[in-house]
Amino acid sequence: MRRSWWRWALLIVVILAVFIPSQVWLKQRVTKYKSSYKTPLAPTIMVPGSSASQNRFDTLITQLRKETKKSHSVLKVKVAESGAISYTGNIRQGDNHPFIVIAFENNRDGYANINKQAKWLNLAFKDLVKTYHFNHFSMLGHSNGGLILSLFTEKYLAQTKHVTPDRLMTIATPYNMESDSTTKQTAILRELIKGRSKLPKKLTVYSVAGTENYSSDGTVPANSVNQGKYVFQNQVAHYTQITVTGDDTTHSDLPQNKQIVLLIRQYLLKETLPSKDRVPTTKRSQSKEADEMGLP
């Protein structure tokens, strides 16, 4: 009788020794799956520069559609000064890499306006996440659009839990506004540098500059674009600066510049380009994305 009592006790001890740690393990695993899970839907959010409407990227998108085999659908969003959001176009069912262009009724230049636009962008962004349930995305900003996206990423993105940006590409974005100076910082640059520690650590940033001559693309000084390094360098996973010269490199032509379209396809949309079109700057492994799922 005593022997069987010992056996039962042993059995219970063994069961508990397996059961309790497995309970802890279970919790960890479920959280891990939740945090490493990526939705198939990963839109590219495009923000145009000052004085531009939600149709600013039409030429670019037409060009992209022509060159890529996948036809990305386009959703255009306009945020009014009141914060009211209006949509045109739609995300096609089954299109996992749509473009979402977000523009603002008040699209004027200047520090105060850009800050307001970042806040409006946040409103639209929250609404999009609520509607489409994506948890990662990429960003493309032209000119001041890059400033709006940078500000939004630093100041507001954390409000939306569990959504992380993969890549940000800014085209001719004047991080130091119109200033050509390499020492004097304008208000917006100061603000961006102050908040840079809030940038997501896994973000990859590309800053593309165009130059007509040695110092500017006709509107934005090359020095101002270069100041972006004080915001991103050593803060995000990768920060790459690219300068494009040649035909169609005036400020407003840049989004449809052939070289930049290729850069967008290769870096932002992560397409596998035919080798003749590939920009031979950095080596990157195409398969990395798949590994991040973290599944057994």
Partner 1 sequence: MVRLFRGLWCVNQRVDQWRAMRAIHEALRVAYPFILVMALIDVVGQGCLSKSGFFFQVYHIGSWLPGLEFWRDILQAVSVVVNGLVAVMIAFTTGHYMARTYHADALTVGLMSALAFLTLNVNYDTFGQTSHGNDLAQFWMPNLGPQGIFLAILVGLGVGWLASHLMQGLATWWRHHRHTSLSWTGRVAWSLTIVLGATVGIGYGLSWLTDGGINDLVYLALQTLNTNPGHNGLRILLVTSVSNGLWWLGLIGPIDVAGNSSVTSLQNLAYAVQHGSGWGAPHAITLHTLGDAYANFGGAGMTLALLIAIWIGSRQASYRRVATQTVLPNLVNLNESTLLGLPVLFNPILLVPFVLAPAVNIVLAWTAITLKLVPPIVYPVPRTTPGPLVAYLGTGGDWRALLLSGLCLTISVLIYLPFVRLLNTEGGADHAA
Contact 81, 105 (CB under 8 A): yes
One character per residue 35-74, x = contact with partner 1 (rule: CB under 8 A) = --x-x-----------------------------------
**CA-closest candidate to residue 157, choices 243, 45, 244:** 45
With CB under 8 A as the contact rule, the residue among 34, 70, 190, 284 that binds partner 1 is 34
CA distance 274 to 84: 43
CA distance 17 to 154: 46
Contact window for partner 1 (CB under 8 A) among 14-22, 83-91, 118-126, 208-216: 14-22
CA distance 177 to 220: 8
Q: Is 26 in the site for partner 1 (CB under 8 A)?
A: yes
Which two three-digit tokens encode residue 248?
């169609």
CA distance 79 to 117: 9
With CB under 8 A as the contact rule, the residue among 8, 19, 274, 286 that binds partner 1 is 19
Work out how close the CB of 18 gets to partner 1 at its nearest, in angstroms, rounded to a whole number: 6
**CA-closest candidate to residue 251, choices 198, 213, 293:** 213
- DSSP label at residue 221: B
Q: Is 33 in the site for partner 1 (CB under 8 A)?
A: yes
With CB under 8 A as the contact rule, the residue among 25, 92, 178, 190 that binds partner 1 is 25
Nearer to partner 1, 25 or 111 (CB): 25
Strands (E), the chain: 44-47, 74-79, 85-89, 99-104, 136-142, 164-171, 204-211, 238-245
Q: Is 111 in the site for partner 1 (CB under 8 A)?
A: no
Q: How many residues line the site for partner 1 (CB under 8 A)?
A: 18
Q: Is 23 in the site for partner 1 (CB under 8 A)?
A: yes
Which two three-digit tokens encode residue 82?
């009141």
**273-292 binders of partner 1 (CB under 8 A):** none
One character per residue 126-145, x = contact with partner 1 (rule: CB under 8 A) = -------x------------
**244-273 binders of partner 1 (CB under 8 A):** none
**Binding-site ranges for partner 1 (CB under 8 A):** 18-19, 21-27, 29-30, 33-34, 37, 39, 133, 295-296
